[in-house]
A and B are shown apart, each in its own frame.
Chain A
């Protein structure tokens, strides 16, 4: 079982991101379970959503406490919520930001994780450029597809097209593709740096 926890704020499509991820996994023949951390969500309030992916039916209903991957849709949460709580030692981290891990003050903390599994992507900027609204979820999911290789970009695109009207879907797909390329590029740079 592979467990993903997504942190963001109300209005950023956090719950939708988990749902889309489950649809992408389903399209690849996997079992998937997406659910929000339920509450009286308000725009701007911290929101958590979860997605489990497995090859067999998923019965477990507890919240994800030891995620294999963390998607952080809003870097301002880093100072408000313990987003890294329970992350497994070889887990994946993808943060939506234009800043570097150094600038975020996370370089040392995240140094204990595998470097090639920790990445940033400017998902909000990509969403603004392509969709015209600050909804980073599609771009972040594509970034997750790139960094973890657990689902394909094709499946993410198909899940987006399933969910949204054609025009909105294509704009999100464009943001997703660019995010995917950006994370791939970023990972190659890390690989080169480590090879040196």
Chain B
């Protein structure tokens, strides 16, 4: 059924259709609307049987999800930003224990400085934790990925993170096609755990493993993730058969067939990039887009194939490996058959900085002319940066950078844009 609803509401509906048995949550923007909506569904009996557990922190949220999942329940939680960092130890444990928890991450920057806006730093900080990480381009895909996430998680006994851009998607009202319970039941079979804590047949989960087998356990986690690379496309195909639309999959290629320049990105910015690319195509530029739908496992072969014709690759990412440059671009460069110096890193949209068509035209125009630097910070205010550097050069006690830079800008309180 077509509905015009908020992204968070769409995700809550999707999660409810997956019949979770335990939902634990701790509120943090911008994921709060999702678990609030699920909480209401549990209270009014629409979502049953399901236990909604309010916990005292994100660490507790993931710990409760681990316990619930180990006891054989389909478990769900959601978080963002510092919340994800606070639960990090348990996030690694969920993956290491092979528990198929599904978690929404409503992507948001990490402080300091405090910033509640969108970028991908939170999810990418956990890229090596062993969770599968899927990224949604729009709210329809965010909804659909949750259905696929439970299926994937439970088939592989691995937790899955569904990443959606905080505010940009979570708080956007747009049209979504809500599936029926019948469709979801046909796609997602009941959860059959590989391991379950059952008082009738006691086992333990979480043994200490020494040097004799630790590497083997880690290798098996890696092998499972590589197995997901085969399962994800075939399940996206099955999804299309049941639900009648394309959603999910490893990568989304757009106008790449004869493209000399390919822009690679994750998440909702892909829409703005596609609109820009359409305009550039009209002007005769052979340019295309590659969306990464699955960041972990990294789809090496699919990326290599999509970049076959590309003479230049521009990776635009909402994350920064401080001291190196790009995170996504590093992965892309390792999958590109051409010369790595043809892969350009563009850091964009950090802390909610708007990524506009105008800026993209300027940036991609430079790429067309061959003048794009290896590493670019899109729309960086160089003058502002210079002022801070000059201040630090001029005096030892130059003070805190964030406060100084806001003073330079004459900003009383941070605002969007």
Instruction: Identify the A interface with B (CB < 8 A).
Output: 18-19, 22-23, 26-27, 31-40, 48, 57-63, 65
How distant is B153 from chain A, measured CB to nearest CB, in Å? 28
Q: Is the C-beta of B45 less than 8 angstroms from some C-beta in chain A?
A: no
Task: Flag if A60 contacts B417 (CB, 8 Å).
Answer: no
Q: Is the C-beta of B32 less than 8 angstroms from some C-beta in chain A?
A: no
Count contacts between A and B, CB distance < 8 Å. Answer: 79
Task: Flag if B173 contacts A34 (CB, 8 Å).
Answer: yes
Chain A proximity mask over B24-66: 1 for CB below 8 Å, otherwise 0: 0000001000000000000000000000000000000000000
Task: Flag if B354 contacts A62 (CB, 8 Å).
Answer: yes
Task: Flag if A39 contacts B416 (CB, 8 Å).
Answer: yes
Which residue, B173, B270, B416, has most C-beta atoms of chain A within 10 A? B173
Q: Is the C-beta of B300 less than 8 angstroms from some C-beta in chain A?
A: no
Known interface pairs A22-B4, A32-B174, A38-B116; 20 further A-B residue pairs with C-beta atoms within 8 A, sorted by A's residue number? A18-B173, A26-B4, A32-B173, A33-B172, A33-B174, A34-B172, A35-B168, A37-B416, A38-B167, A38-B352, A39-B116, A48-B416, A58-B174, A60-B271, A60-B357, A61-B271, A61-B272, A61-B355, A63-B416, A65-B356
Which residue of the partner chain B has the closest CB to A34? Answer: B173
In the bound complex, CA of A23 to CA of B268 (Å): 21
Q: Which residues of B contact A36 (CB under 8 A)?
A: 167, 171
Q: Is the C-beta of B414 less than 8 angstroms from some C-beta in chain A?
A: yes
Q: Which residues of B contact A65 (CB under 8 A)?
A: 356
In the bound complex, CA of A63 to CA of B414 (Å): 17
Q: Which of A37, A39, A61 contacts B414 (CB 8 A)?
A: A39
- List 24 contacting pairs A-B, 8 Å CB cutoff, sorted by A: A22-B173, A22-B174, A23-B4, A26-B175, A31-B174, A31-B175, A32-B175, A33-B172, A38-B118, A38-B167, A38-B352, A39-B116, A59-B272, A59-B274, A60-B271, A60-B275, A60-B357, A61-B268, A61-B269, A61-B355, A62-B354, A62-B355, A62-B356, A62-B357
Chain A proximity mask over B373-417: 1 for CB below 8 Å, otherwise 0: 000000000000000000000000000000000000000011111
Task: Flag if A63 contacts B173 (CB, 8 Å).
Answer: no
Q: Which residues of A contact B6 (CB under 8 A)?
A: 19
How distant is A151 from chain B, measured CB to nearest CB, in Å? 13
Which residue, A18, A19, A31, has most C-beta atoms of chain B within 10 A? A19
Q: Is the C-beta of B336 less than 8 angstroms from some C-beta in chain A?
A: no
Chain A proximity mask over B102-146: 1 for CB below 8 Å, otherwise 0: 000000000000001110000000000000000000100000000
Q: Which residues of A contact B173 (CB under 8 A)?
A: 18-19, 22-23, 32-35
Q: Which residues of B contact A62 (CB under 8 A)?
A: 272, 354-357
In the bound complex, CA of A39 to CA of B414 (Å): 8
In the bound complex, CA of A34 to CA of B172 (Å): 6
Which residue, B6, B168, B175, has most C-beta atoms of chain A within 10 A? B175
Q: Which of A27, A38, A40, A58 contacts B171 (CB 8 A)?
A: A38
In the bound complex, CA of A34 to CA of B117 (Å): 17
Chain A proximity mask over B2-30: 1 for CB below 8 Å, otherwise 0: 10101000000000000000000000001
Which residue of the partner chain A has the closest CB to B6? Answer: A19
In the bound complex, CA of A22 to CA of B173 (Å): 7
In the bound complex, CA of A2 to CA of B172 (Å): 17
Which residue, A36, A58, A61, has most C-beta atoms of chain B within 10 A? A61
Task: Flag if B357 contacts A39 (CB, 8 Å).
Answer: no
Q: Which of A31, A38, A58, A63 contacts B117 (CB 8 A)?
A: A38
Q: Which residues of B contact A57 (CB under 8 A)?
A: 175
Chain A proximity mask over B280-299: 1 for CB below 8 Å, otherwise 0: 00000000000000000000
Chain A proximity mask over B341-364: 1 for CB below 8 Å, otherwise 0: 000000000001011110000000
In the bound complex, CA of A48 to CA of B354 (Å): 14
In the bound complex, CA of A116 to CA of B221 (Å): 66
In the bound complex, CA of A48 to CA of B167 (Å): 14
Q: Which of A18, A58, A59, A63 contacts B354 (CB 8 A)?
A: A63
Residues from 232 to 277 in B contacting A, C-beta threshold 8 Å? 268-272, 274-275
